[in-house]
Amino acid sequence: MTQVFVNIGLSLDGYMAPEGMTMDDPNFKGWGAKWGAMMGWLLKQQAFRDHLQWGPGGETGPVNDLVRATFDRTGANVMGKRMFDQGEVAWPEEAPFHTPVYVLTHEKREPWVRPGGTTFHFVNDGPERALELARAAAGGKDVRISGGADVIQQYLDLGVIDELEIALAPVLFCGGRRLFENIGEPGPRFRIESVFAGPGATHLRYVRQ
């Protein structure tokens, strides 16, 4: 059965992205260094390098296995317009998803087909419709809610997220985009499934009760 999951990096003080993170000004308030400190562990993994076709090399081991499992299980992605807008100017021609991607937006736009199996579909009918389309396109695999924080919050409010996979890094942002904000009560309930302490982050997995 298709599961809906979140797999993200998080700062120790609960932020998904540092203040001022925009591709328009990569040096604004030093967000690049902060984001790199949070996600540097991922950039070193062989599975991540393979997925982005960065060539041979990279670390192997339990953390790499977690990264590869995430890629292998994902049949479709859902993201918000802000995440797409930043990625559109930053991703390589072969966008790093290799699945259908459903973008929540008010903008009407034809699907954008990229090399390597990624097609961006622009959904104007809200998060429920985007998830319905993603489930249908996932081919029996799982649907990843990629971000940003506001989109994840919408799906948490809808009560449809089955799993939260959080890589908690020992870095403080002291501002930015929090993951757990603007969630209505009563919030969703999760139980701890697993905890793995890697060298760059603690990998936490929660499943819905």
Contacts with 117 (C-beta within 8 Å, 6 or more apart), sequence order: 97, 98, 99
The pLDDT of residue 23 is 64
The pLDDT of residue 25 is 61
The pLDDT of residue 27 is 58
Cα 205 to Cα 13, 22, 28, distances in angstroms: 18, 28, 32
pTM: 0.93
**Residue type at position 1:** M
> Do 145 and 78 touch, CB atoms closer than 8 A?
yes
**Weakly modelled stretches of the chain, pLDDT under 70:** 23-29
The pLDDT of residue 28 is 57
Q: Where are the domains of the chain?
A: 4-208
**Residue type at position 184:** G
**Residue type at position 179:** L
pLDDT one-digit tens code per residue, 183-208: 988 888 999 999 999 999 999 999 99
The pLDDT of residue 209 is 93
The pLDDT of residue 184 is 87
Q: Where are the alpha helices (DSSP H) in 7-108?
A: 31-43, 46-51, 62-73, 81-90
Pick the CATH number of 4-208 from 1.10.240.10, 3.40.50.1820, 3.55.10.10, 3.40.430.10: 3.40.430.10
Dihedrals phi, psi of 126, to nearest 5 degrees: 95, 170
> Do 202 and 167 touch, CB atoms closer than 8 A?
yes
